[in-house]
Chain A
């Protein structure tokens, strides 16, 4: 949160009557946030380095200073006494908001930002009920500043967050402020196109509804959306995101702050990728092949039937997907061990890489799947060939891989073909048993990102039909196979239980806790090292 912490010495100051000690070089607005006072801000954004202090809405009164000071720019000083809500500060803020509203169209009913608009919030806070302006408002119209981003010039308050994001974080000088004064508007630099792979972030930083993503334009009102903390499955970076859903459909993705992974940002590939997952044909009930036809069945019958058939499987191959959760991969490995299939491969879709220059840790990585590391951790190998060979007379078990690239007759000759997945491709229809499982958005679980960071995602959607999380289905199958008349071991029913079983059985994951993974994730290496250190026998003790 704090920039350039140079010394360990702290500076004490008083904000709205609360004493706080913060590192020097902290700005007043950050210190105020630390004591729970949210000073209004437009041009200040914690993820954008420069603070032009041009919006003047964060003005606060500081004792001993002749004038109000912009709290985003002002560094803390020893003994400072700050009043964020004094009469003088509030009246200045009211004037700023009133001036911003002079040409603001107040088209809140049709504006996509309504409900999460900082101009709405502060206008309400400063009690601006009527305008004193008698003149006509300036009408500027709208512009398409990128393929998928619209710019409503009337709504813009020229905070320049978008311009500074592009210049300082994306390091792609595509946006400028054109014209001056009340005619100022945001435009692309002459001769430049806004095609940066991280351009979607300018919509997120916009404090009003001036920048709107085409994919969200007129789609939903903010108050109709349900928000769920999740992890982006677009690539192996695993950006922390919030999934916004409406009526059991994913409407959009917003980045969720995590300084270890993605800061405040995410890429456009991730945004578009997940919205596509609303489409596609899903199996909605267990399907068993009887007399050559796939017949829908209940879960109980299906699992018993599959367990019976799996007992007779002599040898075979396994295919997994790097989109499967850690818990699902773990229980799939257990199932394979039980029926005697070794190895197993997964195929990762590859794509072009892109780096966010201002925050190089955030990259759109070549591995376009969230859990390739997790699959490797559970003993599955990367498959790089062009097409998988047909299992022919062998058995084959598939976890979540859509098998989309395979020919229609693939797997038809297999002695037993078990498909545990959530897409019905033509090859998958050759299975003897199709067990419908949820996508990651419909379940709880964890992914392991490229650097071995285990991150939890939460359930955003209701499952399609009878689909259940893969780990639940597989754990039940394993316990049915282990049943020698005594009912077998109890299968976990909660994601947290499955996670703890996995951690207890996977040495590389030792030390992880469901609760401590939390919303920010935990690194494999660090916890492992910490645990090993803690367990190491003390010399000479």
Chain B
């Protein structure tokens, strides 16, 4: 019924806050003696990342520094957010290569489909998340930049067993 308030009586002997305050101070004192860390001093101290974490892309390269990408077009096809741009072309040896290969890391959702679908194990995700840029354009990584990235590969891909056999 509106306007009617249920009044509860305070239990005898439990009305004092002294006991609770002392208990809280006890916790504080305990932490003074045993400095159990809760706050992490980022960026001086960093998280230990899971080896299977999916982060920033990197492109695998041949020994001579060329990217391993054969411009097959499967990653832009499978990408659910259309963040990969690829224009294939023919190089001087008549081989197919990526004349333009760009990944918009800002738009990417790091699902890892591109890595999964790649037939030549060229594009990978890496265990890395610390990216910051002054402009949005800088978030579009071109092929050169992707090739230079050297963060560890995500453990979703095992270099010892590249085709997951």
Contacts and interface: CB of A to CB of B under 8 A. Distances in A.
B133 to A, nearest CB: 27
Between B71, B72, B90, B95, the greatest number of chain A beta carbons within 10 A of the residue's beta carbon is seen for B72
Contact of A109 (B90, B94, B119): B119
Contacts of B120: 109
Contact of B89 (A218, A221, A223, A224): A218
A223 B77 contact: yes
B119 A221 contact: no
Interface of A: 108-110, 142, 217-219, 221, 223-224
Contact of B96 (A142, A218, A223): A218
Interface in B57-107: 70-74, 77, 88-90, 94-96
Contacts of A110: 70-72, 95-96
Contact of B70 (A109, A223, A224): A109
A109 B77 contact: no
A108 B120 CA distance: 12
A221 B94 contact: no
- The secondary structure that dominates the B interface is loop
A223 B76 CA distance: 12
A141 to B, nearest CB: 10
Closest 6 CB pairs of A and B: A109-B72, A221-B73, A110-B96, A109-B119, A218-B88, A218-B96
A219 B70 CA distance: 13
A217 B70 CA distance: 14
Given A109-B72, A224-B73, 4 more contacts: A109-B74, A142-B94, A218-B71, A221-B72
Contacts of B94: 142
Contacts of B90: 217-218
B62 to A, nearest CB: 16
Nearest to A223: B77
Contacts of A142: 94
A218 B98 CA distance: 10
A144 to B, nearest CB: 10
Between A142, A217, A223, the greatest number of chain B beta carbons within 10 A of the residue's beta carbon is seen for A217
A221 B73 CA distance: 7
A142 B94 CA distance: 10
Given A110-B96, A142-B94, A221 B70 contact: no
Contacts of B89: 218
